[in-house]
């Protein structure tokens, strides 16, 4: 792999890691926002039937709110795992080999 291609891969990898951190923080902030602002008992009329458990305290969210949280979690994991896979491919697993 030539130097310019390695550099581009490294830049993409760094972008993925920063995106994973940003998405993960956003998910945590949104989760705590729901914890602070959503009802503690289900409200079927408003569609708040999905329990979101935070350290034993359940708040009830709508399916749309629950989807947003799950989408952020999935995006975070995807970015992070992709960055790790790039590192494995880039080094061909060399970082797993013992130093001689």
Q: What is the pLDDT of residues 39-55, one digit of tens each?
A: 999 999 999 999 999 99
* C-alpha distances out from residue 73 to 4, 40, 85, 90, Å: 32, 23, 18, 26
**pLDDT of amino acid 90:** 83
**pLDDT of amino acid 93:** 61
pTM of the model: 0.83
State yes or no: pLDDT of 99 exceeds 70.
no
* Confidence band of 92 (pLDDT split at 50, 70, 90): confident
Give 71-85 pLDDT, tens digit per residue.
Answer: 999 999 999 999 999
* C-alpha distances out from residue 98 to 33, 91, 94, Å: 45, 14, 9
| Token duo for residue 29 | 């902030």
**pLDDT of amino acid 14:** 96
Give 3-51 pLDDT, tens digit per residue.
Answer: 888 889 999 999 999 999 999 999 999 999 999 999 999 999 999 999 9
Partner residues linked to 51 by β-bridges: 60
CB 52 within 8 A of CB 60: yes
Within 3-98, residue ranges assigned H as helices are 3-37, 63-91
Q: Tell me what the pLDDT averaged over the chain comes to.
A: 92
Q: Let me know the angle formed at the C-alpha of 45 by 58 and 61, rounded to the nearest 5 degrees.
A: 30
């Amino acid at each position: 792999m030539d130097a310019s291609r390695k550099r581009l891969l490294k830049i993409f990898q760094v972008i993925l890691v920063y995106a994973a951190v940003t998405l993960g923080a956003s998910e945590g902030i949104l989760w705590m926002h729901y914890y602070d602002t959503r009802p503690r008992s289900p409200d079927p009329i408003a569609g708040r039937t999905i329990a979101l458990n935070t350290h034993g305290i359940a708040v009830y969210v709508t399916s749309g709110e629950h989807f947003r949280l799950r989408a952020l979690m999935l995006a975070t994991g995807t970015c992070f795992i992709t960055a790790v896979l790039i590192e494995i491919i880039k080094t061909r697993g060399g970082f797993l080999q013992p130093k001689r």
